[in-house]
Structures are given as C-alpha cells and as structure tokens.
Amino acid sequence: MDKLRPSDFGTYWYGISQELSKVDISPKLEFIPIRSDKHATLYSVAINSLDEYPLYGYLSIPEGDPPFPTIYFVPRNASVLEIIPQGTSNLIRDKFVVFSLACRGMRNSDNPHISMYPGQLTENIETLDKYIYRGIVADTLRGLDFLITRPEVNKNALLVSGNDNALFASALHGAVTHVVSTPAYFFDTIDLAELTASYPLEEINDYLRLHPNSKNKVINVLSYFNLRWHAQAVTAKVLLMVGDENDVYSKSKLDPLIQNITGEVTLKESDNSAYKDGLFIQQWIADEIGDGVPILPDHWK
C-alpha cells in the first residue's frame, strides 16, 4: 500500500540534509575511566542534531596508531543505549573505533523528548514533517557527520550496523563504506504489518486499529521511508540479514530491496541461532574491514 514513490521524495530528503548542515555539531567529549583500559579508551559524546536536538553517545578508541577501521552502531528501536550490543565481544574495542548513539526520545537522549517503547514507531506518524523518524534518520546521519571529523577514523573502512537505520545511513550519507543490516520495519510497512502480530510492526497495526480513518495519511508518510526507494542510493558493500521463509522479512519478501541495492550485497538467511548468525556477521566484518580473524565472545569459542 505504501509502494508508490512520492514525487517529491528526493526533495524531501535533500531538505533534511540541508537543514542538518546548518546545525553546528558542537561535540563535547568526556573521558569515562571505568570503561577504559590499556587497550581502549571510552568517551561519552554530546552532539547537536536536527532542530538543535541534543544527542548522547559512546565513542571507544583503541590504543595504537590511527586511523582505525570503524563500526557505528546506529540508533535503534530500543530504549537503552549500549556501548556495544549485548552478546558482542568487548574485544572489538581493541581493534575498531566503536561509536554508538542514542536517537531523540531514547534514554540518554530523552531531554526534551521521551519516547515510549513500544510506541516510538508511530509517534506523529500522520504528519510527515513531525514524524519521529524524520528526526531519528537525521540523528543517524548526524552521528556520521561527527565520526568523519575524528582523525582516528579510517574513512575507507567505516561500517554502519543495525536495522533499517543502517540502510538509511548508507543511502543518505556518502561516508559509509560497509553496512550490516537486519531490516525490521521500513520495507512495505503496511503490507508486511498485516502479516504479523509481533512487535515492532504490531505498533502499526495497533495504531491503525485505534485510528482507522488515518490509514491513508499513514501510508503517505511511510512511503517516504520505504526502503524500496532508498535502495538504489546504497552504494556501500552490504551484508543483509533476512529471516527464513516463514519470517515477515524473508528473502522472497525483501527481493525488491535486494535487487535494487546498487552496492555489492551478501545475503544471509537467518539460521535462527544467535551463535550461527553472529559468527557469520563477525567473519564478514573481519574479512571486509578487519584482519580476517573474527572477534568472538568467549562463550562462542
């Protein structure tokens, strides 16, 4: 239902990037000794985003001679900001610059706005210029603006990791060289939400049950975020994690996205195992921007 590309699609996203460019990043870093050691130093980071919104993140820098390959864990649909995702080996901080960022509404970036989880996905979803993800995508891009100012970052090995925001980052910011993405809610959102009762897509179903007369407005807003229309602008190397054939985000359902991505795509159908999927991801990262040796948590070895 949201499969029509808006006629002003390019103008809309260009306008956001122009607005963002007028906001001074104003980065402020603060050393965090309890999370630093002889291998890596951690800093809290405060930056300004679209509408002068203040964001908070973590920047980890390895010891040694820069620049270093870099992993940016983009903002996600979750309330808590982590230095690295749960289950990831802390040893990645020894070899990579690691940056994680809380988007507006998320804990640590929840002043002046606090999002609800679940519920964030539908905040102001009827109004294009007020939809929360307009700001969240801009926040994601602002994280890249900050990273490329850092001399420790290898600009030829800058990987973004996450869900749909990782693909938005690659499509809308030229700094991204590699992507690891597990699409979760912005591909043909309305159609796929009708196939599941699981969150986060169930947030869309909840909203439309509560506001049935708003469906056309929701469809219009989501058409600007549909990854169908962003795919061609993704020129980075991509590892796309998809569900099995019983999953809402299976290979067959995502095929229009897969076929339209301009960059080289590696497709991995989930084994429904955090270990097997995680091992594949870490090996891909090691081969693409590391030294070929995957960095694994101890319980996987």
Please compute, for residue 246, the number of CA atoms within 13 A of its CA located in the half-sphere on the CB side: 2
Q: How many residues does the chain have?
A: 301
Answer whether 208's CB lies under 8 Å from 214's CB.
yes
Kindly report the backbone phi and psi dihedral angles of residue 190, in degrees, each rounded to the nearest multiple of 5, phi listed first: -65, -50
The pair of three-digit structure tokens given for residue 252, joined into one six-digit string: 């067959």
For 57, counting Cβ atoms within 10 Å of its Cβ (0-12 exposed, 13-18 middle, 19+ buried), the class is: buried
Cβ proximity of 58 and 43 under 8 Å: yes
125, 218 Cβ separation under 8 angstroms: yes
DSSP state of 39: S
Residue 1: its pLDDT value, please?
Answer: 58
Q: What is the pLDDT along the chain (301 residues), one digit of tens a residue?
A: 567 899 999 999 999 999 999 999 999 999 999 999 999 999 999 999 999 999 999 999 999 999 999 999 999 888 889 999 988 999 999 999 999 999 999 999 999 999 999 999 999 999 999 999 999 999 999 999 999 999 999 999 999 999 999 999 999 999 999 999 999 999 999 999 999 999 999 999 999 999 999 999 999 999 999 999 999 999 999 999 999 999 999 999 999 999 999 999 999 999 999 999 999 999 999 999 999 999 999 888 7
For the chain, count helices (H), then strands (E).
Answer: 10, 9
- Dig out the tokens for 288 from the structure: 């693409």
Three-state DSSP class for residue 97? strand
Determine the CATH number of domain 9-288: 3.40.50.1820
| pTM greater than 0.85 | yes
Alpha carbon distance, N-terminus to C-terminus of the chain: 46
| Angstrom distance (rounded) from CA 179 to CA 160 | 5
